[in-house]
């Protein structure tokens, strides 16, 4: 029996967590922009402090800076601005960011509100909150390994990480930590939308690379509310079609992956932030916005709405084995099929 657990997991965990540590840390190091200039000093992050306090869930009532920033940024799809024209932006929906909120690893970027140096989870949280400013954002430090709890109402789980270990095991052989077991359970039962970063190894989702596999990807294949999110190098338009980012994992030949695979623009040239880690929060934000519009919709319905309204005409040489269902379109996901 093998154990896979998160970075910085409790000492009782198996050393196999090193594989995951390497996978996540290496990807982040490789894909973070080399912004090495003088950085703006950050004030202490109250949210992180709360997370350290023993509770694995930190409600985002004190998230600084970004939650007050509701401007459409240049790195966002033009679609977002169009959809933001009226109404709610995620109200009544909870996005739980399962990520790193406690390590000492920080890197720099700029989501259009000034250069910041933050932990990985702080970045993904900020991004989701900028897409869906009215959503409640929870921060779940993945180092705790404890089960992810759901809030009242619609829940969206953002997974901008992978669970890597030696390739060749079946998913059934994995002894999941309560954290991932709960996530997989929610995706299986359709009780939360699960937005999973596809991976940054330029391979098909779930494929092995250098003898390692992302078993969280594998475990989520075929689950009703799991969405794998790949990265485009730009936001696509019909005039300027987008291509898959050079690092992004793609859908591959498995039709179960293709049917639950979306792509979004990750414009790292504008933010200094690259990687499918920054693709998943966009889908999480979109899901929250859709959930705030259709307040009675189930996670399955919202997942299918996002998947079924993805665009293929904004992508260069659309191929489902690369782009899956296509580029997510918030405005189309919010629009009617017909009106009279």
Partner 1 sequence: MRERSNIGAGLCAAALLLCAPSFASTALAQEWTTSLVDIHQGSPLSDKARGLGNGGYELQSGSWVSFSRWYHASWVDMHVDFLTQITPDTGLLWGFGTGEQAEKYSIGPSLKLGFLTQIHPNPNSTLSLSVTSTIGGGLTEKPCEADYGDLGTYSVNCRLAAGMTAPEETLKYLVSAKPETMHLWLNYRLTF
- Contacting residues toward partner 1, per CB under 8 A: 83-89, 289, 292-297, 301, 304-305, 308-309, 311, 313, 331-340
Q: 92 or 272, CB closer to partner 1?
A: 92
3-state SS class at 58: strand
Q: What value, to the nearest 5°, has the Cα angle with vertex 184 and ends 27 and 328? A: 65
Q: Which is nearer to partner 1, 91 or 110 (CB)?
A: 91
- 193-197/226-232 β-pairing: parallel
Minimum gap (Å) between residue 73 Cβ and partner 1? 17
**Which residues neighbour 239 within 8 Å (Cβ) at sequence distance 6 or greater?**
none
Could you tell me the two tokens for 206? 């779930």
**SS3 label, residue 25:** helix
Minimum distance of partner 1 from residue 84's CB (angstroms): 7
Nearer to partner 1, 123 or 286 (CB): 286
Q: Packing angle between helix 299-308 and helix 280-293, nearest 10 degrees?
A: 120
d(CA 306, CA 154) in angstroms, rounded, equals 15
Query: What length is written for the chain?
Result: 340
- CB within 8 Å of 162: residues ≥ 6 apart: 20, 23, 24, 27, 197, 199, 214, 216, 217
At closest approach, how far in Å is the CB of 296 from partner 1?
A: 8
Shortest gap between Cβ of 70 and partner 1 (angstroms)? 12
Residues 6+ apart with CB under 8 A from 300: 190, 224, 225
Q: Min. distance of Cβ 94 from partner 1 in angstroms?
A: 17
The residue (of 118 and 129) whose beta carbon lies closer to partner 1 is 129
Tell me how far, at minimum, the Cβ of 82 lies from partner 1, in Å. 8
Which residue lies nearer to partner 1 by CB, 79 or 99? 79
Beta carbon of residue 289, minimum distance to partner 1 (angstroms, whole number): 6
Please identify which residue in the block is written with the tokens 């954290």: 179
* Tokens (6 digits) for 5: 């657990």
Comparison of 12 and 340: residue with beta carbon closer to partner 1: 340
| Nearest residue (CB) to partner 1, 90 versus 206 | 90
CA 198 to chain centre: 9
């Amino acid at each position: 029996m093998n154990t896979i657990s998160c970075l910085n997991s409790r000492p009782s965990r198996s050393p196999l967590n090193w594989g995951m540590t390497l996978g996540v840390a290496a990807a982040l190091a490789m894909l973070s922009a080399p912004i090495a200039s003088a950085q703006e000093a950050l004030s202490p992050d109250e949210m992180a402090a709360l997370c350290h306090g023993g509770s694995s869930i930190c409600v985002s009532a004190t998230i600084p800076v970004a939650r007050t920033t509701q401007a459409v940024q240049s790195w966002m799809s033009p679609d977002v601005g169009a959809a933001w024209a009226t109404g709610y932006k995620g109200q009544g929906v909870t996005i739980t960011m399962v990520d790193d909120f406690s390590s000492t690893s920080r890197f720099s970027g700029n989501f259009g509100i000034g250069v910041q140096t933050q932990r990985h989870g702080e970045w993904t949280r900020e991004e989701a909150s900028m897409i869906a400013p009215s959503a409640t954002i929870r921060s779940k430090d993945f180092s705790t390994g404890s089960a992810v709890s759901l809030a009242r109402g619609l829940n969206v789980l953002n997974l901008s990480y992978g669970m890597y270990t030696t390739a060749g095991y079946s998913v059934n052989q994995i002894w999941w930590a309560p954290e991932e077991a709960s996530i997989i359970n929610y995706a299986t039962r359709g009780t939360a939308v699960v937005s999973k970063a596809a991976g940054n190894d330029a391979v098909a989702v779930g494929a092995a690379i250098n003898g390692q596999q992302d078993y969280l990807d594998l475990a989520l294949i075929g689950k009703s509310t799991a969405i794998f999110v790949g990265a485009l190098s730009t936001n696509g338009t019909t005039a300027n079609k987008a291509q898959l980012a050079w690092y992004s994992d793609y859908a591959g030949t498995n039709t179960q992956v293709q049917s639950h695979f979306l792509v979004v623009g990750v414009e790292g040239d504008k933010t200094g932030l690259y990687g499918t880690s920054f693709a998943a929060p966009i889908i999480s934000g979109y899901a929250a916005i859709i959930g705030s519009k259709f307040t009675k919709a189930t996670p399955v319905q919202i997942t299918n709405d996002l998947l079924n309204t993805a665009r293929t005409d904004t992508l260069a040489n659309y191929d489902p084995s690369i782009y899956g269902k296509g580029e997510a379109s918030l405005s189309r996901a919010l629009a009617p099929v017909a009106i009279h």
